[in-house]
Amino acid sequence: MNNVAQDTSYPFVLNRVGEAAGAEILGVDLSQPFDDDLRDAIVRALVANHILVFRDQDLTSEQQMAMTERFGTLERHLLHDVKGHETPQVHVIANVDENNNPIKRTYGSFHWHTDKSYHEIPSFATFLHARELPPDGGQTEFANMHLAYETLDDATKKQIEGLKAIHSWEANRRNTGSKPATPEEIKLRPPVVHPLVRTHPDNGRKALYIGIHTDCIEGMDREEGIALLKRLYDHATERRFVYPHSWRLGDLVMWDNRSLLHRVLHNYDMSQHRRVMHRSVVIGTRPE
Ligand SMILES: [Fe+2]
């Protein structure tokens, strides 16, 4: 952990853990109901730090769902509804087969993205609870898109002002080298258009809104737009903007998709070790 600095303006212990973003919170038990004051303080901490790491959490799926609902409307996940799981709004992300044995799998989340940017109303906050971890690796990395925007040169800021990017599930499949989207999937998830630079509704800061779900730039020559997106993506994911989270068992990490890109590292032997996360999400608002 680097740059640990305590911020005493909260009703809980908050230590900044990353140069670019991130704070750990101690002394909050998310399995128990909490009042609006504590909820509002958590949101304030999230908006300021973008990633909150709640240590030593022990929650059932029901408790995780109840906790998540305190922050907004639960988003149903279209891909990962888990068979037989009692609360599909809290779903399991795990590299396991039907016998619960670890298997090597490929995930779109190996690439930098912001959750559900291929939806008109993308995700606000995502919650991941670490239930089983490999002995090493499997970090989740976060890149701060406010810093990425603010460090662009003036010419680039001027160039991208007012531009809009097209995001789609079809582009996600293509950009991640996955099985191409089917006509049914494309119909279910048609392309959407979002500003290339969005303004955070709570902190007022601008952020690049890009990632692996982008296809091209609206109204720009396709190849030229793809080249611009690539240039922004390369800049935005430079190490100076990144907080890499090394998981501890029981960590519950909450992050703000309006401020970040994220990805998971597949730097461990997936065929030998299980990595099991319980995930829940609240939906946000239309990016502006
Ligand atoms: Fe994600």
Average pLDDT of the chain, as a whole number: 93
| CA 206 to ligand 1 center in whole angstroms | 21
- The CA angle 216-217-220, to the nearest 5 degrees, is 115
| CA 167 to ligand 1 center in whole angstroms | 15
| CA 228 to ligand 1 center in whole angstroms | 23
| CA 14 to ligand 1 center in whole angstroms | 24
Per-residue model confidence (pLDDT) at position 4: 62
Average pLDDT of the residues in 188-194? 95
pLDDT tens digits, 30-43:
999 999 999 999 99
Average pLDDT of the residues in 12-28? 95
pLDDT tens digits, 101-151:
999 988 889 999 999 999 999 999 999 999 999 999 999 999 999 999 999
* pTM score: 0.94
Q: Which structure tokens are listed for 61?
A: 């799926």
Average pLDDT of the residues in 177-203? 95
| CA 113 to ligand 1 center in whole angstroms | 6
- The CA angle 154-47-149, to the nearest 5 degrees, is 15
pLDDT band at 191 (very low <50, low <70, confident <90, very high): very high
| CA 104 to ligand 1 center in whole angstroms | 18
Pick 209 or 79 by higher pLDDT.
Answer: 209
In degrees and rounded to multiples of 5, residue 68 shows phi and psi of -60, -40
Average pLDDT of the residues in 256-263? 98
pLDDT tens digits, 45-71:
999 999 999 999 999 999 999 999 999
| CA 219 to ligand 1 center in whole angstroms | 28
| CA 34 to ligand 1 center in whole angstroms | 26
